[in-house]
Structure 1
């Protein structure tokens, strides 16, 4: 298993250390592809000078690229800022300092189960770390400096938060193995957005401001945050889906209830889409769950 020791903004770290988020967005001021980690591997927080320590870690879920406004809409304060204006100000400052032009699209590294260690528990940097490193450095966590670093971070974590460490972290002195993180609400939204190619499954609308990740079976009613329990829908279609005026049949065709016309004497726009095949993710494992769709037809659809 690999880990990635990333240079970490002190304001981002200090703000999130006061919170208890299940997911956070470790963002970069420009969209640069990130392939240093696979899902379930740790990104460790290297605190910049004068601290020069390792302050914690988070489990990497996925990388995506989002406009700044959508990153805020998705993660809110879990972006490491108290408000959208504060995030925008910080982003603008970094982009100006580094002469970054073009559209404000940021790189988003989604981290689950973040651990922010208090100062007295910070871990020394590996002996091979160099101040000239700009973004970060990858480590093999199974031997050498990487293994020592990971062991120290886990020991610090377990000493402070034994219950958290016992729930999913690797054994204290055992082999380093990836941890499969559970998607939360923010991770669900991003995963569904990317799985569907950023287009509505029904209308193929591509305008990001009106696209929403819909739960087929709501989380509050026994659903989960898996992509297979989701559909990417235009906001108006999403509302109709949640209210039961539309559903999806076993063959993944869009179905519109007669109740829409009966209740509102309208709906022509949607009846024109009745029977249309959904545009689904290319990965079969990300397509709508048969059980979730059956639940929606039985428990929510108005018929």
Structure 2
């Protein structure tokens, strides 16, 4: 397993550490050209505070990296960005870019999305590895199977075992990492995605286009749950479809569904019966759903069946 020790600031860390039930964070980078290729999904990113606080103070499991407009990053993650408001986020980005940012500017930032994060109390902080240079700006990678990386992993594993019971359930990346003892690849059990991460991954999987209409205006696109979260009790990309907001509302209310057999759009006669309207929506009836290129992100048939037979009418 690989480990990446990423540099962050006290404010970002302390806001997260002060919150309860944090299931995801956006470890963002201010540059519009930022990239991140140091980890595979399920591998570990640790948080190191800026000097002179040279300590590792927590971490999380990598899920995905994407370049996102600031507004979308805020809408998806809110305080999980490590700030309390969108204006504060703009100010923080402007500070790191050393250039002013207007209140309506919406440039891209690099978003490193992490699941199952953990934030240690001060008595559990780990001193930075001896080979971690103080002038390191972004971070440094290690192999957990040997050398300094191995020593670091042993310390991290001890602390992971002290996590609250909710984070030590079966089929979590935290438990999988503990059981691996830092050896091998962690892809067998991927991190449990939070709501913001699922929204972003679904948006990216459908190439930022409504799967029913082809609409590409990002502010009006929603990641719709197929089977309600109250039923499924977890966030999964295969339970999401990117929809224009009005289509999403009709889908949730059972006026529109997707045929589980052929993945074609079905529009209920109720729209005409109840509202004497709906011509625009009936044009969609019988059209094929636009699916992600990656088949792993296709809607699961049991989720489609649930919506078609329990919600659509």
What is the SS of the residue equivalent to 1:26? strand
State how 1:41-60 maps to structure 2 within 5 Å: 41-60=43-62
Separation in structure 2 between the aligned mates of residue 182 and residue 68 of structure 1, nearest angstrom = 24
The SS at the match of 1:181 is coil
Q: Matched residues in 1 for 2:155 and 2:100: separation?
A: 34
Give the equivalent residue in structure 2 for 1:267.
278
Counterparts in 2 of 1:10-29, with a 5 A limit? 10-20=10-20, 21-29=22-30
Structure 1 residues 115 and 222: alpha-carbon distance in aligned structure 2, compared to 1, 3 A threshold: closer
Partners of 1:243 and 1:151 lie apart in 2 by: 50
Shift of 1:284: 1.6
Tell me the distance in 1 between the aligned counterparts of 2:309 and 2:115: 34
What stretches of structure 2 of length at least 5 have no aligned partner?
Answer: none
**What do the CA deviations read for 1:275-300 (whole angstroms, capped 9, x no partner)?**
11111011222111111111111101
TM-score normalised according to structure 2 size: 0.90
Distance 2:234 2:119 in 1: 27
3-state SS of paired residue (1:132): coil
Measured at CA, do residues 213 and 203 of structure 1 come closer, stay the same or move farther in structure 2, by a change above 3 Å?
same
Equivalences for residues 263-302 of structure 1 within 5 A: 263-302=274-313
**Matches of 1:165 and 1:73 in 2, distance apart?**
25
1:153 aligns with: 156
Contact 2:157 2:178 in 1 (8 A): no
**Count of residue pairs the alignment pairs up:** 299
Query: Which SS does the other structure have where 1:147 is aligned?
Result: helix
Provide the C-alpha distance between the structure 2 equivalents of 1:195 and 1:173, rounded to a whole number of angstroms: 30
User: How far apart are residue 153 of structure 1 and its match?
Assistant: 2.2
1:25-174 to 2 correspondences below 5 Å: 25-31=26-32, 32-96=34-98, 104-158=107-161, 160-161=162-163, 163=165, 166-167=168-169, 168-169=174-175, 170-171=177-178, 174=181
The offset of 1:176, in angstroms, is 3.2
- Are positions 1:182 and 2:185 aligned together? no
Asked if structure 1 preserves the Cα contact closer than 8 Å seen for 2:160 and 2:178, the reply is no
Residue 221 (structure 1) shift: 2.1
- Deviation string 1:154-202 (CA, Å, 9 cap, x unpaired) is 22343x5363674433347934352521112112111111111110001
Offset at residue 235 of structure 1 (A): 0.3
TM-score by length of 1: 0.93
SS state at 2:148 partner: helix
Q: CA deviation at 1:103?
A: 5.4
Partners of 2:116 and 2:192 within 8 A in 1: no
**More deviation in 172-181 or 83-92?**
172-181
Is the CA contact 1:151–1:172 (under 8 Å) kept in the aligned structure 2?
A: no
Indicate how the Cα distance of structure 1 residues 223 and 258 shifts in structure 2: closer, same or farther if over 3 A, else same.
Answer: farther
What are the ranges of 5 or more consecutive residues in structure 1 without an aligned counterpart? none
When residues 6 and 98 of structure 1 are mapped into structure 2, their CA distance, relative to the original with a 3 A threshold, is farther
Indicate conservation of the 8 Å contact 1:218/1:224, yes or no: no
For residues 102-136 of structure 1, the C-alpha deviation after alignment (integer angstroms, 9 at most, x for no partner) is 95211111111111112221101112111232211
Cα distance in 1 for residues equivalent to 2:57 and 2:180:
20
